[in-house]
Amino acid sequence: MDIGIGLPALRPDPELSITAWARRAEERGFASLGTIDRLVYDNYEPFTALAVAAGATSRIRLTSGILLAPLRADHALFAKAVATLDRLSGGRLTLGLAPGGREDDYTVGGVDFRRRGKLFDALLERAVQQWEHPGDGVGPAPATRGGPPLLFGGNSEAALRRMTVHGVGWVGGASGVADFRAFLPTVRQAWQNAGRAGEPRLLGTANFALGPDAEQRIRDRILHYYAFAGEYAQRSLTAGLITPDQVAREVAAYAEAGCDELLLMPNGGGLEQVDLLADAIGL
């Protein structure tokens, strides 16, 4: 199982360098760098953060885990931005996509929340067409032929449909390995029913904070971020990892469940979080 680490993009410390974080993550052997996405929140815009990370590194993959795709109302421009990032990073981009559940993001973004599913489908159709046939005047062509790999988050029938039509796999939420494991039979059955060859790629996500004040940092950030989500906020907090032993056990549990890649998202702290996490998982 590959292990990725999130960029310090959520309620970011302006003194903490994303370039230094990305370089250190690559040096320590992490497989990927990840981001989250919100509009009405204090977080870095994902494409911008990943572009900065791409420029500072040469090997580590870049993953949006996840990107709220329907907020990108200009579908041709979205496809162009993705192709540009994929091209400039040398084909290191993987897109995790979902519609999201926060209406305030859509209100501020001027996008109809109730139509986000239809907008998502339209965006995918346009983007895939543009990546596969860049000769229509809208370039550049992505480095990855046909566009970067797409993973889809969510537990709905629509999410599974998008995965089987356009994607290479599925992204699980950060509420713990039990929730991840419980939904895998449904993901695999949808893949099989659609006649897709092989197996879907499975990406898990988890929150971590290590070192002094880890428990307080992860509590503050998770409860603040998921304040709207009721019971899910508490499940996500319970699933947060705050000791090296917890990290090691959770990594082993995700690997045993069949996860292909686990993306561990930081919650506060400085550059030392990269080394603390790498040490905890033996990198």
**Over the stretch 152-167, which tens digit does the pLDDT of each residue have?**
999 999 999 999 999 9
> Looking at residue 227, what is its pLDDT?
81
Residue whose token pair is 């977080």:
43
Say yes or no to pLDDT of 135 above 80. Answer: no
> Looking at residue 137, what is its pLDDT?
81
Measured CA angle at 100 (ends 31, 140), to 5 deg: 60
- Six-digit token string for 22: 């990305």
Q: If 0-12 CB within 10 Å is exposed, 13-18 middle and 19+ buried, where does residue 261 land?
A: buried
Say yes or no to pLDDT of 134 above 80. Answer: no
- Percent of the chain exceeding pLDDT 90 equals 91
Say yes or no to pLDDT of 77 above 90. Answer: yes
With CA atoms as reference, report the closest residue to 177 among 202, 142, 148, 209. Answer: 202
> Looking at residue 226, what is its pLDDT?
86
Q: How far apart are CA 121 and CA 75, in angstroms?
A: 10
DSSP 70: G
Say yes or no to pLDDT of 213 above 90. Answer: yes
- Give the domains, in start order, of the chain with CATH numbers: 2-281 (3.20.20.30)
> Looking at residue 263, what is its pLDDT?
98
With CA atoms as reference, report the closest residue to 84 among 106, 99, 62. Answer: 62
| pLDDT tens digits along 79-102 | 999 999 999 999 999 999 999 999
Q: How far apart are CA 160 and CA 235, in angstroms?
A: 23
Which secondary structure element, helix H or strand E, spans residue 171, and what is its range? Answer: strand 169-171
> Looking at residue 119, what is its pLDDT?
98
| pLDDT tens digits along 3-19 | 999 999 999 999 999 99
